[in-house]
Amino acid sequence: MARKSMISAFVVVGMALAVGCGVDGGKVNGDLDDVKYVKAVTEKSHYVTVAKTKRECSARDKKNRCTSYRTVSDGTMRKKVVDRKGLPAMYCVELDNVAGESTDDDQWYEVPFSEYSDHAGEDEGTPVKEMEYYRKLSSCTR
């Protein structure tokens, strides 16, 4: 019985943390203001040749256990070095009058490509209903 109440307490605390941390995403309504696309960033990397090493026992005790080691060269290997991390494309939609509030203007949302393509050709001020979004942004930049 105590185990069930403990599990329930963990669930309640976990949900409270999720709400408190501002877990984003969902659906939103408003009037279309603007759409924007930020291009994907390709990864930039190069390879370097580095020496491979291994540890070898250099001294043993009476029970044949190793008491000291030395580092020995074991050839070379190629290692990838990432200079700039790759990022996916970002699709954004800006809404005015979010949830019917005239004070909530110029709110940017990162959206899936399907939502972006639905609203890309529409005029400013077009009502947007139940738009799915990933997260709310201050601006559509990286």
Return the pLDDT at 97. 85
Same domain, 124 and 57: no
Q: Is 79 among the domain residues? A: yes
Same domain, 74 and 94: no
**For residues 6-22, average pLDDT:** 43
Same domain, 132 and 65: no
Same domain, 116 and 130: yes
Instruction: Give the range of the structural domain holding residue 69, as residue numbers without chain letter.
Output: 45-84
What region does 22 belong to: left with phi over 0, alpha with psi -120 to 50, or beta? left
Element (H, E) at 137: strand 135-137
User: What single string gives the DSSP state of each residue in 58-121?
Assistant: EEE-TTS-EEEEEEEEEEEEEEEEEEE--B--EEEEEEESGGG-TT--SEEEEE-HHHHHHHTT
Same domain, 109 and 76: no
- pLDDT tens for 58-88 read 999 999 999 999 999 989 999 999 999 999 9
Q: Is 63 among the domain residues? A: yes
Average pLDDT over the chain reads 84
Return the pLDDT at 106. 87
Q: How many domains does the chain have?
A: 2
Same domain, 97 and 113: yes
Q: Is 125 among the domain residues? A: yes
Q: Is 29 among the domain residues? A: yes
- pLDDT tens for 97-126 read 888 877 778 889 999 999 999 998 888 888
Same domain, 33 and 71: no
* Rg (alpha carbons) of the chain, rounded to whole number: 28
Q: How far apart are the C-alpha atoms of 24 and 19, rounded to whole Å?
A: 9
- pLDDT tens for 84-102 read 999 999 999 999 888 887 7
Q: Is 20 among the domain residues? A: no
